[in-house]
């Protein structure tokens, strides 16, 4: 969890001290998630003090939701999925599940993971379709939104051993099937990054009144969207965008209502007895901010160059590790920390060893990935002080 402080949210960690990282983002998501639970308890006729959505559970789910993310943001996730295509793929949410159920506290011959409860697993599993589910439907490996094939066991635990009905047989349907806590986490995540990415983008001068006006001129915006853009431009001019977006967090929380749901597992658990409904106007506002961030920040030359570099670093690192460590009985160079090498030694097949190497690579922070790359490939990097960092 602490490593998230040095993993990219929008801007590469360490480049500036002010901007959000995966850790500060996760803390913000947890706060929004708890606020939604408290608001629903106060406002919904479907809840009361005897039956309410567990705010502690929801907060824990929100705090955990990004711990599986690799270094360098989404380019890291895409690159590792490509590199692991022949060995089960890589997906940030699936890696979160793997960390919670297997990697935390892991030592050879000892209990693995944190023994998460069924409710916690259900909330963390944003996606429930396996890689093989997608391949069976589309004929090709998915780019995202899947769990690893071996994690189907956790899906079965969540389902309580019950067979999924016909309506949950497709990957899309499985991924839409979420507990109420997972739905709250999902909207809290959307709230945090759709609002806060804009604030960081303004601070970093990727978003200005000029760039916004030029962007809007090239879009087919409706009246509501145009009004939102005009309001944003006005807040930037007045330097009041931070308190404005702070107040929008409350608006996004108050946009939530509950709707009863009857269907699979609704008779077994209240966690599947409700859907979270979001006010359409607020949902559209969130979508607009995401579009602005995508076009003006994430597609900018500066961030695309940084993404390219991050992907290149991961590709070179993973290739070097596979060359020397992937084959069972490999006698290649000793490139791994001792605890990682010890775990790798217990993997007898190539796929298992690739997964271990992927675990190690995905667990690196941005800074540690860069330093490890320099140790292996930069001829001028290698003093005793540098090698011990």
312 and 244 fall within a common domain: no
Cα 279 to Cα 104, 158, 176, 247, 286, distances in angstroms: 38, 29, 19, 16, 11
Question: How far is 83 from 87, CA to CA, in rounded Å?
Answer: 9
137 and 222 fall within a common domain: no
In a domain, 75, yes or no: no
In a domain, 10, yes or no: yes
14 and 95 fall within a common domain: yes
In a domain, 224, yes or no: yes
CATH number of 56's domain: 1.10.3210.10
**pLDDT number for residue 108:** 64
In a domain, 97, yes or no: yes
* Boundary residue ending a domain (267, 298, 329): 298
Find how far residue 299's CA is from the centre of its chain: 19
294 and 149 fall within a common domain: no
Q: What's the chain's Rg over C-alpha atoms?
A: 22
In a domain, 157, yes or no: yes
Tens of pLDDT along 297-353?
Answer: 999 998 899 999 999 999 999 999 999 888 876 666 788 988 888 889 888 899 999
* Boundary residue ending a domain (275, 298, 321): 298
46 and 119 fall within a common domain: yes
Question: What is the tally of structural domains in the chain?
Answer: 3
Whole-prediction pTM: 0.92
23 and 112 fall within a common domain: yes
263 and 193 fall within a common domain: yes
222 and 347 fall within a common domain: no
**pLDDT number for residue 20:** 78
Domain, as residue range, for 225 = 181-298
198 and 271 fall within a common domain: yes
User: What residues contact residue 368 under an 8 Å CB cut-off, 6+ apart?
Assistant: 6, 71
115 and 206 fall within a common domain: no
8 and 155 fall within a common domain: yes
Cα 223 to Cα 10, 157, 228, 283, distances in angstroms: 29, 47, 9, 16
**pLDDT number for residue 21:** 83
In a domain, 388, yes or no: no
In a domain, 74, yes or no: no
197 and 285 fall within a common domain: yes
In a domain, 78, yes or no: no
* Boundary residue ending a domain (250, 265, 298): 298
- Tens-of-pLDDT digits for all 389 residues of the chain? 888 887 765 655 555 556 778 899 999 999 999 999 999 999 999 988 778 899 999 999 999 999 999 999 889 999 999 999 999 999 999 999 999 999 988 766 666 888 899 999 999 999 999 999 999 999 999 999 999 999 999 999 999 988 888 888 899 999 999 999 999 999 999 999 999 999 999 998 999 999 999 999 999 999 999 999 999 999 999 999 999 999 999 999 999 999 999 989 988 888 999 999 999 999 999 999 999 999 999 999 988 999 999 999 999 999 999 998 888 766 667 889 888 888 898 888 999 999 999 999 999 999 999 999 999 998 887 655 555 55
| CB-CB contact of 314 with 371 (8 Å) | no
């Amino acid at each position: 969890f602490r490593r998230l402080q040095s993993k990219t949210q929008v801007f590469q960690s360490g480049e500036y001290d002010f901007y959000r990282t995966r850790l500060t983002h996760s803390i913000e998501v947890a706060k929004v998630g708890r606020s939604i639970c408290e608001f629903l308890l106060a406002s919904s006729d479907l809840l009361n003090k005897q039956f309410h959505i567990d705010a502690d559970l929801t907060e824990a789910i929100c705090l955990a939701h990004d711990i599986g993310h690799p270094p360098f943001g989404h380019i890291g996730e895409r690159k590792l999925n490509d590199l692991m295509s022949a060995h089960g793929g890589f997906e940030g949410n699936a890696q979160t599940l793997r960390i919670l159920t297997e990697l935390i506290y892991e030592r050879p011959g000892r209990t693995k993971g944190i023994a998460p409860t069924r409710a916690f697993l259900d909330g963390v599993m944003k996606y429930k379709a396996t890689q093989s589910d997608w391949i069976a439907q589309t004929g090709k490996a998915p780019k995202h939104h899947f769990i690893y094939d071996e994690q189907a066991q956790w899906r079965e635990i969540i389902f309580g051993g019950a067979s999924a009905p016909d309506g949950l047989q497709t990957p899309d349907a499985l991924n839409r099937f979420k507990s109420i806590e997972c739905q709250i986490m999902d909207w809290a995540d959307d709230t945090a990054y759709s609002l806060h990415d804009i604030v960081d983008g303004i601070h970093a001068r990727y978003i200005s009144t000029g760039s916004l006006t030029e962007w809007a001129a090239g879009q087919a915006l409706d009246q509501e969207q145009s009004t939102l853009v005009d309001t944003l431009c006005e807040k930037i001019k007045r330097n009041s965008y931070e308190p404005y977006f702070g107040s929008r967090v409350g608006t996004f929380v108050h946009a939530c209502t509950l709707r009863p749901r009857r269907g699979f597992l609704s008779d077994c658990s209240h966690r599947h007895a409700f859907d979270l409904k979001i006010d359409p106007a607020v949902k559209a506002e969130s979508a607009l901010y995401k579009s602005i961030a995508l076009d003006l920040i994430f597609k900018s030359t500066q961030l695309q160059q940084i993404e390219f570099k991050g992907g290149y670093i991961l590709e070179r690192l993973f290739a070097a590790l596979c060359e020397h460590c992937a084959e069972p009985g490999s006698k290649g160079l000793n490139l791994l920390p001792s605890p990682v090498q010890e775990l790798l030694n217990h993997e007898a097949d190539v796929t298992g060893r690739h997964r271990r190497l992927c675990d190690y690579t995905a667990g690196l922070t941005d800074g540690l990935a860069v330093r490890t790359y320099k140790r292996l490939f930069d001829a001028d990097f290698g003093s005793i002080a540098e090698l011990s960092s």
